[in-house]
Amino acid sequence: MKRFIFSVLTIGLILGLSGCSSSPKDSLQSSVDEYKECTINWDAECIAKFSDPSLVKLSGGINKFSKNLEKDMKKAKDSMNISIKINDIGKISQNNNILKSNIIMTQTMEILDEKMQEVLGKKMEQKDSMIAISTDDGKNWYFTNKASQALTKELQGMQ
């Protein structure tokens, strides 16, 4: 009986510790992976989940933001496939309660629309960066870039 209780306690301890082992870096890596899949699959709702909360709020909330994003992505979705390679996830820095990391990636777009191919070619490759931000000790991350930061400032100025 003692052996059984010890086994149950050991398993409980292992399971409990494995839940505690998630560091901001682990959480960031899994968020980057999920965001990448959202983008490759043109999943507006999922992308909205990882978008700058202030931009989402200024756009009328998560549902409106997702619907507008879905509309904007529809034409692109029909005219190209996208792949993303994460080149580097930078060191996480902290300023007060905000964690940040710079993500460097390469986006490859395979152009499907023949008219667009005449202008853009069959493939386009673009190196880009985004900033990962967490305000809850790395439990949740959202992603922003210079374009979305500029749009947020512009929308704030319109209010």
Reading the chain (159 residues) residue by residue, the pLDDT tens digits are 433 333 333 333 333 333 333 467 788 999 999 999 988 998 989 988 988 888 888 888 989 988 988 888 887 788 888 899 999 999 999 999 989 999 999 988 888 877 777 777 788 888 988 999 999 999 999 988 766 655 556 655 665
Tell me what pLDDT residue 153 has: 63
Is the dihedral angle over the CA atoms 9, 11, 16, 21 positive or is it negative?
positive
Question: Domains of the chain, with CATH numbers?
Answer: 23-152 (3.10.450.50)
- Parallel, antiparallel or unpaired: strands 98-111 and 142-144: unpaired
Beta bridge partners of 134: 99
Give the DSSP H or E segment for 15: helix 2-20
